[in-house]
Amino acid sequence: MYRIAINLKDARYYQIATLGLLFVFQLIFSDFGSDLKVLSVTLFGAILGQYCAQKYFSLPVLDLKSPLITSLSLTLLLKTNFIWIYFLAALLAMASKFLIRIGNKHIFNPANIAIVALLLIAPYYVWISPGQWGSAVWFGFGLMCFAGLVLGHATRIDTALFFLTSYVGLLLGRALWLGDPLDIAMHQMQSGALLIFTFFMITDPKTTPDHRFGRFLFTFAVALIGFSLQFSFQIREGLFYALAIVCIIRPIIDWLLVHERFEWVTHKQKP
């Protein structure tokens, strides 16, 4: 028998609320947004994947938060003309979470690896649109994401800050080196995709190093690789690839810098 537990200290509720709001926003204001049908199909795929995996691994509490966050992230970021691809993406995401693991931690952020996998295997079917949010929305959304992390007592607020500092530092450094006005760096920061990436992907505590210094190394590597892919290799999805690449070496960081493992606060553990 599955139980659904709710604990408001869990940062993921705030994440779901923030992503949900953004979904509603793009539903109303974006000409290239995803609709409810897309969200339903993605959600169906994610919950199905989660359910099957939990059944297979005999886990008692059906976790709906993770499928919801993954579905919302996928719906907001991934674009395709074929709705079944959302279903596939959600299944891929959930499968990666349960199947690609080292030391009881999954390697990849589920939404991130699904996006990267599809960009690589089906470039003629999917794309991502990083520039679809205006700047006013960006600031509002950024504030909410941040507030969500603080309110949710997430221990991983440092990950978001490390990453943003590194990435924005690189953007500013580039602008200074080129002698460009700082408006340009500011403009480059104002991407909705960057925010979703920062607050819902790279901050995923399950796929970041346990040690704080490890997290710093991890986020800096993502920022640097993503920045290079974007500006030197002209790969617009650079950050998504960068996270997937750095996630592969994350177990090494965990092995070198041992620290207590993160667990989501969900329900009272049975003794």
Report d(CA 11, CA 245) in Å as an integer: 26
- How far CA 242 is from CA of 96, 190, 197, in Å, comes to 17, 19, 11
Pairwise CA distance, residues 16 & 200, whole Å: 10
Least gap, CB of 129 to other proteins (angstroms): 6
What residue type is assigned to position 269 of the chain? Q
- CA distances from residue 135 to 103, 139, 142, 190, 192 in whole angstroms, order as listed: 41, 6, 10, 6, 9
Sole residue written with tokens 């009881």: 104
Distance from C-alpha of 187 to C-alpha of 215, rounded to nearest angstrom: 27
The one among 60, 103, 179, 271 contacting other proteins by CB under 8 A: 179
Nearer to other proteins, 47 or 126 (CB): 126
Q: Hey, which residues between 84 and 143 contact other proteins (CB under 8 A)?
A: 123-127, 129-135
Which stretch, 19-27, 156-164, 201-209, 233-241, contacts other proteins (CB under 8 A)?
A: 233-241
Question: What is the closest distance, in whole angstroms, from the C-beta atom of residue 68 to other proteins in the complex?
Answer: 26
Q: Does 180 bind other proteins (CB under 8 A)?
A: yes
Window 14 to 73, contacts with other proteins (CB under 8 A) = 31-32
The count of chain residues that interact with other proteins, using the rule CB under 8 A, is 31
- Which is nearer to other proteins, 233 or 255 (by Cβ)? 233
Residue ranges that bind other proteins, judged by CB under 8 A? 31-32, 79-81, 123-127, 129-135, 177-181, 183-184, 186-188, 191, 233-234, 236
